[in-house]
């Protein structure tokens, strides 16, 4: 008789360092002096990533392109009005469509505040303040009226406008890919990280790639290339790709998959290599993905696992049991629910 399992995705607790007074059992076992040294090393590693060119706009661009069925266009805000300083109604005039066929003008609405909205409503609030005459790169769904849209780049800001060529390259790659996935395979080697990220996400969502040994090797070859880079952000990008591959592989370690997935051992091998990265933040992320991948086996059904990457340690505990996760060091957990026949 077939069994099925409930898989819970690993969740990183990104609380500020030293903001929590409680600690997990693993963290509590560490002497205070060693704990402080571990915290300092992680802060230094994150500072190195920021100093090496980490940016916050590339994820915004990628998010816009990954949203299904939407359009992306350079637009100008017209007739902007607000009634409560938070909710805005406006007209968007399209200057150039990068994806889709939006009308020349259409109504839109959005939320914006000068105070950040981290995890409370309204989710999806604008990061760009609506102003009459402002030009932005935006993504939106044409099926809604009035349309809710997402501002990607403020094109009146030279620093943000400098990212527009990347967005246009992504749009061109998507258009060219109508002829086949080889376009995305070539995109893996693009000099721009956001173009590479879109290429790998498109490939990992394509059944043709998952069933093709050449496509699999194209992805893994670029992972190896990025892991060898002197730029730590390139190496972190490679680790994130390996995390995406791990998520595809995990369910197939617990139950038989009808469709072919990438092979697990090359992913494990590359994650093991990344765990030893001289930047400990990269190594921590790789350890989390590796521990999560290794945990997803039938014998762990009905259990969870606490993962403390900075300690390179894990602790298994019963599914549904009380178990504190986190502390001064960021921790993670993953669970595999009991098997149901």
The edge-to-edge listing of strands for the beta sheet with 313-318 is 7-12, 332-336, 303-308, 313-318
- Per-residue pLDDT of 287-335, as tens digits, reads 999 999 999 999 999 999 999 999 999 999 998 877 888 778 888 899 9
Whether pLDDT at 21 is above 60: no
Distance in angstroms (rounded) separating the CA atoms of residues 274 and 270? 6
pLDDT of the residue at 341: 64
pLDDT of the residue at 186: 96
Nearest to 257, CA basis, from 248, 244, 266, 265: 248
- Per-residue pLDDT of 42-91, as tens digits, reads 999 999 999 988 778 888 899 999 987 889 999 999 999 997 888 899 99
- Residue 314, classed as helix, strand or coil, is strand
Residue pair 329/38 in contact by the 8 Å Cβ criterion: yes
> Who has greater pLDDT, 178 or 323?
178
> Who has greater pLDDT, 223 or 340?
223
pLDDT of the residue at 210: 87
Whether pLDDT at 13 is above 60: no
pLDDT of the residue at 320: 83
**Pair of tokens at residue 89:** 């109604």
Mean pLDDT, the chain, rounded, equals 88
**Pair of tokens at residue 175:** 């258009």
Residue pair 169/196 in contact by the 8 Å Cβ criterion: no
pLDDT of the residue at 295: 96
Question: What percent of the chain has pLDDT above 90?
Answer: 63
What is the dihedral sign for C-alpha 86, 88, 94, 100?
Answer: positive
Distance in angstroms (rounded) separating the CA atoms of residues 154 and 170? 18
Q: Kind and range of the H or E element at 315? A: strand 313-318
Q: Give me the count of residues in the chain.
A: 341
- Per-residue pLDDT of 144-167, as tens digits, reads 566 888 899 999 999 999 999 999
pLDDT of the residue at 84: 82
- For the chain, the structural domain boundaries read 72-162
Question: Which pLDDT band holds residue 18 (cuts at 50, 70, 90)?
Answer: very low
> Who has greater pLDDT, 106 or 137?
137
Whether pLDDT at 98 is above 60: yes
pTM: 0.87
Candidates 3.30.450, 2.60.120, 2.130.10, 2.40.50; CATH matching 72-162: 2.40.50
pLDDT of the residue at 211: 85
């Amino acid at each position: 008789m077939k069994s099925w399992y409930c898989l819970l995705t690993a969740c990183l607790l990104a609380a500020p360092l030293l903001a929590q007074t409680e600690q997990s059992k693993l963290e509590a076992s560490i002497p205070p002096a060693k704990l402080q040294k571990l915290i300092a090393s992680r802060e230094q590693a994150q500072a190195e990533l920021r100093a090496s060119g980490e940016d916050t706009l590339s994820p915004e661009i990628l998010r816009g392109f990954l949203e299904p069925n939407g359009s992306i266009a350079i637009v100008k805000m017209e007739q902007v009005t607000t009634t409560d300083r938070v909710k805005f109604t406006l007209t968007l005039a399209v200057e150039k469509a990068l994806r889709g066929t939006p009308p020349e003008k259409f109504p839109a609405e959005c939320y914006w505040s000068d105070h950040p909205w981290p995890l409370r409503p309204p989710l999806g609030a604008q990061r760009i303040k609506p102003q009459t005459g402002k030009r932005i790169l935006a993504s939106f769904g044409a099926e809604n009226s009035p349309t809710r849209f997402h501002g990607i780049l403020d094109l009146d800001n030279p620093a943000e406008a400098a990212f527009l060529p990347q967005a246009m390259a992504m749009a061109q790659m998507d258009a060219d890919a109508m002829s086949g996935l080889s376009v995305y395979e070539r995109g893996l080697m693009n000099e721009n990280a956001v173009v590479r990220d879109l290429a790998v996400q498109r490939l990992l969502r394509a059944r043709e790639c998952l069933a093709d040994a050449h496509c699999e090797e194209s992805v893994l070859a670029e992972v190896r290339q990025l892991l060898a880079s002197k730029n730590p952000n390139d190496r972190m990008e490679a680790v994130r790709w390996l995390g995406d591959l791990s998520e595809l592989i995990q369910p197939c370690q617990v139950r038989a998959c009808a469709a072919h997935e990438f092979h697990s051992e090359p992913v494990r091998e590359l994650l093991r290599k990344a765990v030893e990265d001289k930047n400990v933040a990269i190594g921590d992320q790789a350890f989390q993905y590796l521990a999560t991948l290794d945990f997803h086996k039938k014998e762990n059904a009905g259990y969870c696992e606490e993962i403390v990457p900075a300690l390179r340690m894990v602790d298994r505990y019963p599914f549904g049991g009380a178990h504190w996760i986190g502390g001064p060091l960021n921790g993670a957990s993953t669970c595999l629910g009991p098997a149901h026949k």
